[in-house]
Amino acid sequence: MSTERVRLPHEIRHWYGDMEADYTYTLGIAGERFFAGLKEGHILGAKCPRCGAIWVPPSIYCPECFEELTEWVELPDEGTVYTFTVTHLGPDGKPLEKPEVYAFILLDGATGGLLHKLGEVRPEEVYIGMRVKAVWAPPEERKGAITDIRYFRPVE
């Protein structure tokens, strides 16, 4: 559309740059409580006074009703594999050494659940509906992070 275009390969020019900066994210009201709970070996959910949903991971509001959530509920660290995937690529798109199983685990009694790895199980043995339980890092190694749960393992 312009009167001139670039035709020769050596006339093509790229300019390299980035949008990389350092960030520090406060965990927020719900996050602080949730991760402090993990450090103590508890999975905490937030209960909606209107619809009764128990949200995990928790939030200070019910996304459905927009009620403020102030009631915290401790949930069992057991649940059901709602869905899973056998993952071959790492976060950067490069192949993993060994495939890993990621799952969404519906926690017993909760409206939501946790995304986490499965362990102590071969990928071909995993199925939707499988019962699993959290394997925690030893208390002294916990940091108040999602990795305080190392993975979920089958319970049958």
CA angle 99, 101, 102 (to 5 degrees): 130
Give the shortest CB-155-to-other proteins separation in angstroms. Answer: 20
Of 113, 126, 13, 9, nearest to 53 by C-alpha is 113
Element (H, E) at 117: strand 113-118
* Residue window 19-58: x/- pattern of binding to other proteins, with contact defined by CB under 8 A: xxxxxxxxxxxxxx--xx------------------xxx-
Of 123, 120, 71, 83, nearest to 100 by C-alpha is 123
Q: Does 76 bind other proteins (CB under 8 A)?
A: no
Q: Does 5 bind other proteins (CB under 8 A)?
A: yes
Structure tokens at 111: 């409206």
CB atoms within 10 A of CB 79: 27
Nearest to other proteins of 65, 154 (CB atom): 65
Q: Does 11 bind other proteins (CB under 8 A)?
A: yes
Give the shortest CB-120-to-other proteins separation in angstroms. Answer: 19
Give the footprint of other proteins on this chain (CB under 8 A).
1-7, 11-32, 35-36, 55-57, 59-61, 63-66, 68, 82-93, 99, 102-104, 111-116, 123, 128, 144-147
